[in-house]
Amino acid sequence: MSDLLVIAERRGSEIHSSTYELLGKARELSLKRPFNVSVAVLSDNRLDEDATASLFSGGADKIIMAIDKSLGRFNFEPYTKTLAAIVKKLSPEIVLAPATTSGRTYMPGLAALLKTGLTADCTGLDIEEDTGNLLQTRPAIGGNIMATIKTPNHRPQMATVRPKTFSALKEPYMGNGEVESFEVTPEMIETNATLLQFKPIGEGKKGVQDAEVIIAGGMGLRKVENMEPIYRLTKLINGTVGAS
């Protein structure tokens, strides 16, 4: 049986909802072509029992844990090289990741290391039944058309998916969950980039990629002080402030 790999998105110690959306879609795709659905988690700490159980009930057959202190916060080189090693070991047919800030950063590098293609910002995924190719649909030409792309000659087939495009499973998946530890070697985490500082967004606040409503201000406001009404309005409607 072939493998389909979902790369988990973390927010601190939490697994982001976009991961469960991709697991739900992976289980749907497995109805057309039998897949073992695996999820790769890169972190500085092992998942607790609740998080592990949530990933299994969310659709995963296997959790692959790559644990190293350098993977606590996103860093392009360690993430990309560690994921490349995981993919080479697992040899999945398909690799999916959320089209978040980090996913859009490491997936092109991962595709380059694996010498395969990548379709970004997908809004639809399906399986071509006679070939097993992944049909990857995304907006093109400024969103005026929807293009369907496939990768017939290279594996794995790779795609990022916009968060909130698909839905998590409504009913818990009842599979035989397996947890596999992946050894992170010094070569995988070697990098010239150093994280100097990290500032959390703040308790109760959402980033623009997680927000349902964004109110943005532009140069027409002229001064930072003129953004204040936008901040007040977003608090009233539980939105997030954006800017252009």
pLDDT in tens, 110-164: 999 999 999 999 999 999 988 889 999 998 887 788 999 999 999 999 999 988 8
Residue of 124, 196, 192 lying closest to 160 (CA atoms): 124
pLDDT in tens, 27-36: 999 999 889 9
Ranges of H-type helices in 10-132: 17-29, 49-57, 76-90, 101-114
Q: What is the average pLDDT across 76-102?
A: 94
State which CATH number among 3.40.50.620, 1.10.101.10, 3.40.50.2300, 3.90.580.10 fits the domain covering 2-189: 3.40.50.620
Q: Break the chain into its structural domains and give their ranges.
A: 2-189, 199-244
pTM value is 0.86
Structure tokens at 183: 């050894």
Residue in the block written with tokens 């140069």: 219
Structure tokens at 145: 């058309």
